[in-house]
Amino acid sequence: MSGVGSGYDLAATTFSPDGRLFQLEYAGKAVDSAGTVVGLRCKDGVVLGVEKVIRSKLLVKGSNRHVHSVDTGMGIAVAGVLPDGRYMVNRAISEAANYKSFYGQPMLGHVMCDRLSQFMHLFSLYGGVRPMGTTVFLAAYDRNGPQLYQIEPSGISQRYFGCASGKGRQQARTEIEKLDLKELTCAQAVKEIARIMYTIHDETKDKPFELEMSWVSDDTGRKHVRVPEEVVSAAVEEAKRAIEEADMSD
C-alpha cells in the first residue's frame, strides 16, 4: 500500500522531500488513537487523569497502572503505547535518583522535562530504533511551584495549564478551555476531570473504561500520589449524575 510518506517513512532518520519526519508523525498517530489523558495545573498543585480502556472483564481493578511516581514530588502519566511509556518512566526514575545523589537536592520539574525531551529525541536520530509511541505528561511540584509538562515523541516539550491527548483530546481541550485554571483547586480538578472523561465517553460506541488519577498538591504535602479510591469514586458518581441531569433537561 502506498501512502503519503511512501519511501521516506521507513526510518526515523529520513526526512521526506517536504521536510517531514514520517516516523514521528506515525508515532503521534499511535498516541492519538489511544485512551484519553488529561492534565490540569491548578492553583495548589497538578492533577493527572487517564482513561484506561478495559480490555477484559477478567482484569483486576486498579491493575495496569498508567500513572507512576518518578520522584517524591514528580509523576508521569503515560499516553499511547504503554511499554514505551514504561521505558520513559524508568528513565525518569533513574534520572531523578542520580540527580539527587549527585547534587543532594531533588530534581526540578523543568530539568526533568528537558532530560526526557532529549531522551525522546534520541530515538529520532539513529537507525535501528523507532520513536517512542507515547506522549509523556509530567506533573511536578517543586520550589518553583506546580508545573505540568507534555513531552511528545519528537522530543518537543511544553509547559501547560491544561492539556489532553488521545482519542478524546479535541473534546477534552474544549472542556478544559472553559475552566478557570488560575482559581481551580486540585480537589475541584479531580471532579472536573471525571466530568470531562465521562462527557466525552460515548456509552454506545466506546468500550468501558476505568479512570485512574493522581495528584501532587499542597494537601498531599507536595508528594505525587494516587488520588484515593473514595475520592475518584465520588467524583465519578457526581460526574455521572451531572451528565444524566444535563441529558434530562435537554
Partner 1 sequence: GIMAMPGLPPAGTRLREGPGAPGGVQTGTTIMAATYDGGVILGADSRTSSGTYIANRTADKITQLSDRIYICRSGSAADTQAISAYVQHYLNQHKMETGEDVDVEAGANIVMQMAYGNKDRLSAGMIVAGWDMHEGGSVWAVPMGGTLLRQPVTAGGSGSIYISGWIDKFWKPGMTKEECKAFVVKAISLAMSRDGSSGGCIRIITINKEGSTKEFLPGNQVPLHHDELKQPAAESTAMEVA
Does 102 sit near partner 1 (CB under 8 A)? yes
Output b/e per residue, 90-99; b: 16+ Cβ within 10 A: ebbbebbeeb
**Whose Cβ is closer to partner 1: residue 23's or residue 147's?**
147
**Whose Cβ is closer to partner 1: residue 70's or residue 113's?**
113
Classified as helix, coil or strand, 49 is: strand
Quick one: which of 53, 108, 181, 243 contacts partner 1 (CB under 8 A)? 108
d(Cα 141, Cα 217) in Å, to the nearest integer?
Answer: 7
d(Cα 23, Cα 12) in Å, to the nearest integer?
Answer: 5
Quick one: which of 86, 110, 159, 223 contacts partner 1 (CB under 8 A)? 110
The one segment of 85-93, 99-107, 153-161, 170-178 that binds partner 1 by CB under 8 A:
99-107
3-state DSSP of 54-96: CCCCCCCCCCCCCEEEEECCEEEEEEECHHHHHHHHHHHHHHH
Q: By rule CB under 8 A, what string of x and - marks binding of each residue 142-161 to partner 1?
A: -x------------------
The one segment of 31-39, 77-85, 86-94, 107-115 that binds partner 1 by CB under 8 A:
107-115
| Length of the chain, in residues | 250
Does 118 sit near partner 1 (CB under 8 A)? no
Does 111 sit near partner 1 (CB under 8 A)? yes
Q: Which of residues 126-145 bind partner 1 (CB under 8 A)?
A: 143
CB 164 within 8 A of CB 22: no
Grid cell, residue 223, equals 508528594
Nearest CA-CA partner of 92 in 79, 111, 105: 111
The one segment of 51-59, 70-78, 104-112, 184-192 that binds partner 1 by CB under 8 A:
104-112
Which residues of this chain interact with partner 1, rule CB under 8 A?
101-105, 108, 110-111, 114, 143
